[in-house]
């Protein structure tokens, strides 16, 4: 492997993987960490490095969470702004006009606007357009 911390998500996962490989008679050699699990010394170094890698991941996680909490405390909110962009609003208006005209199928309307059907319906919902419910055709009575 190239680097130890790329092999497992956690210390437990890494050690389970190494144990499984050892049961299969496979040794592990890290190219950048100078670890060779075919010896007792290599296994000791593996465990130490794995513990340090997990510790580092946890520190990064804690710092990230603390940074997000501090940003929220300052009133910063992450993520995309709610609503539609100007271009999407124009497309939503066009979708509404096409839908109310009732001249094309929904597939054709969406295709003409170069959006998928799900986006077409999302735009109608955003504009508050009531959807038409087409009644099922009545069965033909036997002659």
Q: Which of 3, 6, 11, 5 is nearest to 47 (CA)?
A: 11
The answer to whether residue 33 is domain-embedded is yes
- Assess whether 53 and 110 both reside in one domain: no
pLDDT digits 0-9 by tens, 22-63: 889 888 887 787 778 888 888 888 888 778 878 888 999 999
What is this structure's pTM?
0.45
- Assess whether 97 and 37 both reside in one domain: no
The answer to whether residue 134 is domain-embedded is no
Q: Which domain holds residue 108?
A: 86-127
pLDDT digits 0-9 by tens, 57-92: 899 999 999 999 999 999 988 888 888 999 999 999
Q: Which 3-state string (H, E, C) describes 34-86?
A: CEECCCHHHHHHHHHHHHHHHHHHHHHHHHHHHHHHHHHHCCCCCCCCCCCCH
Q: Identify the sign of the CA torsion 63, 64, 70, 74.
A: positive
- pLDDT bracket for residue 16 (50, 70, 90): confident
């Amino acid at each position: 492997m190239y680097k130890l911390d790329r092999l497992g998500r956690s210390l437990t996962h890494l050690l389970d993987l190494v144990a499984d490989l050892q049961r299969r008679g496979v040794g592990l050699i890290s190219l950048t960490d100078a670890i060779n699990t075919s010896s007792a010394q290599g296994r000791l170094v593996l465990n130490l490095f794995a513990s340090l890698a997990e510790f580092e991941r946890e520190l990064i996680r804690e710092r990230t969470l603390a940074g997000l909490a501090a940003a929220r405390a300052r009133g910063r909110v992450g993520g995309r702004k709610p609503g539609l962009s100007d271009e999407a609003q124009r497309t939503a208006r066009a979708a509404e006009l096409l839908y109310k005209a009732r001249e094309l199928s929904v597939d054709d309307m969406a295709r003409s606007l170069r959006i998928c059907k799900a986006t077409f319906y999302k735009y109608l919902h955003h504009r508050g357009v009531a959807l038409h419910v087409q009644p099922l055709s009545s069965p033909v009575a036997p002659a």
